[in-house]
Homo-oligomer: A and B are copies of this chain.
């Protein structure tokens, strides 16, 4: 018998998973929470084998909550849950000790399979998730490269649509210098042009 707890800020998702699992003989629903705080509150006096955890929640998000939970209760397996295939956050959650990740458009069978897999100590990914994860491997070994203050400043101005000469004028530098910072940004973040740079920056919340 596997005891399952869910934390998600979407009531319909909680209801949906609950409904999917209610006829499973070897899965027991032990509780639910709509935010990180109430989840942590539950585990003060209770426990569960597997926690289904939404990645994006108001306040503390799944990535943080995952770290806190695994630190306090290393024996509990955490299964990430998200509506979209957000490779970066999936990666971070895995680094924080999650045992797998499923999408909200997973079938009933897939959800149950995932719960069984992680409760046995295995790692489980939805098929699609695995593919996306691969795309983010370049950052798995190292952390995201650290930008210098100047680089961040230039990055933000690029993101606001300014050209090198405009940025140079704005922060009283030579256009050559701005261009140097720009090239360093491309090199550090391993992207080949402005489009990729800005996409990465926004997605990683660098700006």
Contacts and interface: CB of A to CB of B under 8 A. Distances in A.
A184 interface: no
Contacts of A11: 16, 20, 105-108
Contact residues on A (Cβ < 8 Å of other chain), bracket: 35 or more
By secondary structure, the A interface counts as: helix
A195 interface: yes
Contacts of A196: 159-161
A131 B192 CA distance: 34
Given A163-B193, A191-B161, A9 B105 contact: yes
Interface of A: 9-20, 83, 104-108, 111, 158-161, 163, 191-199, 202-203, 207
Given A10-B16, A194-B194, A199-B202, 7 more contacts: A12-B104, A12-B105, A12-B106, A13-B16, A160-B196, A161-B195, A193-B194
